[in-house]
């Protein structure tokens, strides 16, 4: 099991240029991969939590990822604060599989009939303890992800380090996507953050 200490966000055109310039000068290019994701859950059997704004969010779901470099199955479980109003990090159990399409059929037979599908091309960079990804998501646009790859760090400190990295790049404003791409389908609002 790993804990995801990451944020996903969008940038306006001005800050995108700053972000890409910084990446090209400072980070190591790691590669490009095409990803076709299927997020599966059982309607009515998956835990939700409700924010003050009235939106409901999935706390647990399965993701099957088909890529040009192999297929993967992942169980994601988001951890909330004591009031159940905010997610801090995600426990993630992931393994490679021989055939992701077969896994989708197996999960459907087990009752995971609700499905969110998305396609993206991910370009990945590495900078110190950070993995930085640029996702070109079909019918959604360009999004960014920064993951801190340190063990034994609490979520608040990890978030602080990620925000400090963004500030050091010259980024002053992001639109944070608290639940990643599945939020697009579960009505999870985005939050504008001034750094």
Give the pLDDT of the chain (195 residues) as one tens digit per residue.
556 688 889 999 999 999 999 999 999 999 999 999 998 888 765 555 554 444 456 778 899 999 999 999 999 887 777 766 666 677 889 999 999 999 999 999 999 888 888 899 999 999 999 999 999 999 888 999 999 988 777 878 888 999 999 999 999 999 888 656 665 544 455 667 776
Rounded distance, CA 34 to CA 69, Å? Answer: 8
Q: Does domain 2-194 have CATH number 2.40.320.10?
A: yes
List of E strands, 56-162: 56-58, 60-67, 70-80, 87-97, 114-127, 130-137, 141-148
Give, in order, the Cα–Cα distances in Å from 7 to each of 2, 46, 88, 113, 191.
Answer: 15, 23, 10, 28, 12
Contact 127, 161 (CB under 8 A): no
pLDDT of residue 77: 83
Q: Which helix (H) or strand (E) element contains residue 24? A: helix 13-26
Predicted structure pTM score: 0.82
């Amino acid at each position: 099991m790993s804990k995801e200490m990451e944020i996903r966000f969008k940038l306006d055109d001005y800050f995108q240029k700053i972000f890409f310039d910084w990446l090209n000068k400072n980070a190591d290019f790691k590669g490009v991969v095409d990803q076709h994701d299927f997020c599966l859950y059982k309607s009515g059997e998956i835990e939700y939590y409700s924010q003050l704004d009235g939106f409901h969010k999935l706390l647990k779901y399965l993701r099957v990822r088909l890529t040009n470099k192999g297929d993967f199955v992942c169980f994601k479980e988001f951890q909330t604060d004591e009031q159940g109003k905010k997610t801090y990090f995600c426990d993630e159990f992931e393994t490679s599989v021989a055939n992701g399409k077969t896994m989708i059929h197996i999960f459907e037979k087990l009752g995971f009939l609700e499905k969110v599908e998305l396609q993206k091309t991910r370009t990945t960079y590495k900078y110190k303890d950070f993995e930085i990804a640029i996702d070109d998501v079909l019918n959604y646009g360009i999004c960014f992800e920064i993951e801190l790859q340190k063990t034994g760090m609490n979520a608040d400190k990890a978030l602080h380090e990620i925000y400090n990295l963004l500030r050091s790049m010259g980024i002053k404003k992001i639109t944070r996507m608290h639940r990643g791409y599945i939020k697009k389908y579960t009505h999870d609002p985005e939050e504008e953050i001034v750094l």
